[in-house]
Amino acid sequence: MNWTDERVELLKKLWSEGLSASQIAAELGGVTRNAVIGKVHRLGLSGRAKAPAAPAPRPRKPRPAPAAQVARPMVQGNTVLAPVMAPVAEPEPEVVPEVAAKVIPMGERCTILDLTEFTCRWPVGDPGKGDFHYCGSRSKTGLPYCAYHARIAYQPVQDRNRRRVAR
């Protein structure tokens, strides 16, 4: 593989977006992370925006349990009062996506419980290591992935689906 203008451009883009050298190498294909790093240096764009700068942006605890607050019958004197409309299942305001989904920087993680129809559900990490989570970035309405992962997810498919039907 050689560094075509196209590949260099993609390299610059991904690098500026904060992807690691190995990630970029995998994305480009045909090169190692060393090659990527070497190229990055040769291009003189060593420093970059601190994308993964967020050390611990609050992964958000999976919320153990709403703690079913059973309405205990109240008692007044000898009288047992009927339970007052035990809130069946407090809808839980659940931070509306409009707020939570605002251009979440890469690396912002969320659990499966945080996924909404607007969050990217691209799996990240190793389930066996306890660092498994989902991308969580904003995804276009109706799509399961953010723009970045959608590209990864669908590119191969597009290639495969290349129409072969003549006319």
Residues making contact with DNA (CB under 7 A):
1-3, 19-23, 31-35, 37-42, 46
Q: How far apart are CA 120 and CA 140, in angstroms?
A: 9
Least spacing, CB of residue 80 vs DNA, in Å: 60
CB closer to DNA out of 38 and 73? 38
Locate 127 and state its tokens.
């389930």
C-beta of residue 152 within 8 angstroms of C-beta of residue 159: no
CB closer to DNA out of 12 and 97? 12
CB closer to DNA out of 3 and 132? 3
Least spacing, CB of residue 123 vs DNA, in Å: 16
Q: How far apart are CA 68 and CA 111, in angstroms?
A: 22
CB closer to DNA out of 116 and 132? 132
Least spacing, CB of residue 16 vs DNA, in Å: 12
Least spacing, CB of residue 9 vs DNA, in Å: 13
Q: How far apart are CA 135 and CA 153, in angstroms?
A: 13
Nearest Cα to Cα of residue 94 among 114, 69, 122, 66:
114
